[in-house]
């Protein structure tokens, strides 16, 4: 019973996983190396799964975006539209000052992309009365997109719509990669090459990446140095790089994308010190506005019942923990009591909860309409928008913002809102076991923690604080 139930929910949470298994060479193949200036030849390939972190909720597309009240009545969970997210982070005050991300470019990286993304964004904007981005460019610099993958299309839709919703004046650059496990140049090396190309040819301000792979799925739990090439390039160009911390709480998927690790793990690239790791919160609507708690729907019976028809627990929570790849970087010395000797993730968090999913519009696959989506894939483009606003205020690209985040947190600035409630402990049934496996995670506490990082943001203050204005 539990095995069947886990399979049903896996279809909701990780439908794209099998399609996203990519051969990752220990060094880049010669073709990818040329594109990314890595300069190394092909070697034996190993399978590492790159997965989109978006969770698209079940059900047929709706003809209008549902309201919070409708979602609670019909589905038993909360949902929000982009105007509610704008209100939750107090963004209208910035827009009134002309701070919309003008002059900045948010680069979104997704395998395969979506064939309908431009039309879908136009429909999304029309529904909420938003202007079109000043410039929306779609490129596939490392090869023509010949495959359609609905899970990656859903990821692309979420990324583009919510980066634009929160930074309506920013340009959007969508970088697509033609990943195919049957070809020699695949997976992360393609992403590296595509990102390096885009930064060399466009004035990118911030990169949003809503994908990852569990560190332990890399051979010998070691990261090939060549795969970091885009991030070292971004650092030299003063481009901010973001990555989702994952949706499995204190655990994450094994290579088969069905089984979970039974001990604490983290994922890459969010664990990379050159990357800002974005965790997840749950927005709670109150009489006074919105309050953020750590995202953990694992034990949310309403969500589990809606997603799979069972109230059994399954990991759906903010990814967070200590890296197996990287030692604690200097910018986390102030939180060494929490991080210990390892790189801790996430760094900061935004809305991601499935019980609090967001409205997205899509028409790929012939079924046009509104669906609900959630995960740290939502949080990451949201924070990319916040960075674009800060870049505009600063008048220049901020580059790697990690040191600044921890300094601001240590000063207890008003723009960083501490999240002190919740945890990312998860439970799940695995194999034929009749008892659930529990992976004890971390608690959201005062100051930095391994669930929400330094917390979340109140944008009017945070944008100016991050910009140093």
pLDDT at 451 over 50: yes
Which spans in 211-250 are helix H?
Answer: 229-237
Q: What is the DSSP letter of 129?
A: T
Write out pLDDT tens, residues 158-190.
999 999 999 999 999 999 998 743 322 347 888
Give the closest residue to 139 by CA, choosing from 212, 196, 54: 196
Give the closest residue to 270 by CA, choosing from 352, 200, 197: 352
Give yes or no for a contact between 11 and 147, defined as CB atoms under 8 angstroms apart: no
Q: What is the DSSP letter of 60?
A: P
> For position 255, what pLDDT does the model report?
86
Give the closest residue to 397 by CA, choosing from 20, 159, 106, 109: 106
9 versus 312: which is more confidently predicted? Answer: 312
Q: Are strands 105-111 and 206-209 parallel, antiparallel or unpaired?
A: parallel
The answer to whether the pTM exceeds 0.85 is yes
Give yes or no for a contact between 427 and 248, defined as CB atoms under 8 angstroms apart: no
Write phi, then psi, for 334 (nearest 5 degrees).
Answer: -70, -15
Q: Are strands 206-209 and 240-244 parallel, antiparallel or unpaired?
A: parallel
Q: Which residue reads 């003063």 in tokens?
A: 238
For the chain, give me the number of helices (H) and strands (E)?
A: 14, 23
pLDDT averaged over every residue in the chain: 88
Per-residue pLDDT band at 419 (split at 50, 70, 90): very high
Write out pLDDT tens, residues 28-82.
233 333 443 433 332 334 456 666 667 877 778 999 999 999 999 999 999 999 9
Give yes or no for a contact between 49 and 17, defined as CB atoms under 8 angstroms apart: yes
Which stretches of 5-50 are assigned E, i.e. beta strand? 21-25, 45-49
Cα distance between residue 168 and residue 392, in whole Å? 12
Give the closest residue to 188 by CA, choosing from 45, 50, 363: 50
Residues for the chain: how many in total?
469
> For position 51, what pLDDT does the model report?
64
- Residue 46 CB coordination number (10 Å): 16
Q: Which residue reads 């560190």 in tokens?
A: 215
Cα distance between residue 378 and residue 372, in whole Å? 11
Query: Which residues lie below 8 Å from residue 398, measured CB to CB, with a gap of 6+?
Result: 238, 240, 387, 390, 391, 404, 466, 467
pLDDT at 380 over 70: yes
Give the closest residue to 30 by CA, choosing from 143, 189, 160: 189
DSSP bridge pairs for 361: 370
Considering the four listed CATH numbers 3.30.160.70, 3.40.50.10800, 3.40.50.200, 3.30.300.10, the one that applies to the domain covering 2-467 is: 3.40.50.200
Tell me the two tokens of residue 352.
Answer: 């991601």
Determine the 3-state secondary structure of 72 from DSSP: helix
Give yes or no for a contact between 82 and 128, defined as CB atoms under 8 angstroms apart: yes
Per-residue pLDDT band at 272 (split at 50, 70, 90): very high
Cα distance between residue 447 and residue 411, in whole Å? 11
Per-residue pLDDT band at 390 (split at 50, 70, 90): very high
Give yes or no for a contact between 171 and 136, defined as CB atoms under 8 angstroms apart: yes
């Amino acid at each position: 019973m539990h095995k069947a139930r886990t399979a049903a929910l896996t279809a909701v949470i990780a439908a794209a996983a099998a399609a996203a298994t990519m051969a990752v060479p220990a060094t880049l193949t010669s073709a990818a190396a040329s594109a990314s200036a890595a300069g190394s030849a092909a070697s034996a390939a190993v399978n590492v799964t790159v997965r989109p972190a978006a969770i698209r909720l079940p059900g047929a597309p709706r003809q209008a975006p549902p309201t919070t009240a409708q979602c609670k009545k019909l589905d038993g969970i909360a949902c929000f539209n982009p105007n509610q997210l704008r209100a939750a982070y107090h963004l209208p005050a910035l827009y009134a000052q002309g701070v919309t991300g003008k002059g900045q470019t948010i680069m979104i990286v997704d395998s395969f992309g979506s064939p309908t993304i431009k039309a879908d964004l136009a429909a999304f904007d029309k529904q909420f009365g938003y202007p079109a981005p000043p410039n929306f460019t779609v490129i596939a610099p490392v090869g023509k997109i010949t495959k359609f993958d609905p899970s990656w299309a859903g990821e692309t839709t979420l990324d583009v719509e919510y980066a634009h919703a929160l930074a309506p004046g920013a340009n959007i650059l969508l970088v697509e990669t033609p990943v195919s496990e049957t070809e020699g140049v695949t997976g992360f090396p393609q992403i590296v090459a595509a990102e390096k190309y885009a930064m060399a040819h466009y004035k990118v301000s911030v990169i949003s990446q809503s994908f990852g792979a569990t560190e332990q799925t890399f051979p010998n739990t070691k990261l090939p140095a060549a795969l970091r090439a885009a991030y070292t390039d971004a650092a030299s160009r003063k481009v901010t790089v973001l990555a989702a911390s994952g949706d499995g709480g204190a655990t994450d998927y094994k290579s088969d994308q069905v089984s979970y690790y039974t001990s604490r793990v983290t994922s890459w690239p969010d664990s990379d010190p050159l990357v800002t790791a974005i965790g997840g919160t749950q927005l709670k609507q109150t009489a006074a506005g919105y309050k953020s708690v750590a995202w953990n729907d694992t034990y949310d019976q309403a969500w589990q019942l809606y997603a799979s028809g069972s109230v059994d627990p399954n990991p759906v929570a903010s990814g967070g923990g200590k890296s197996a790849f990287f030692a604690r970087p200097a910018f986390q010395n102030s939180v060494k009591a929490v991080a210990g000797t390892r790189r801790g993730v996430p760094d900061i968090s935004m809305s991601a909860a499935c019980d609090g999913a967001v409205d997205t519009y899509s028409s790929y696959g012939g079924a046009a309409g509104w669906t609900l989506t959630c995960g740290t894939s939502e949080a990451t483009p949201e924070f990319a928008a916040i960075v674009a606003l800060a870049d505009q205020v600063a008048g220049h690209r901020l580059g790697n913002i990690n040191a600044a985040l921890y300094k601001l947190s240590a000063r207890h600035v008003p723009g960083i809102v501490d999240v002190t409630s919740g945890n990312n402990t998860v439970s799940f049934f695995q194999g034929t076991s009749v008892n659930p496996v529990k992976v004890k995670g971390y608690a959201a506490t005062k100051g930095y923690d391994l669930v929400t990082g330094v917390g979340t943001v109140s944008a009017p203050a945070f944008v100016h604080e991050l910009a140093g204005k």
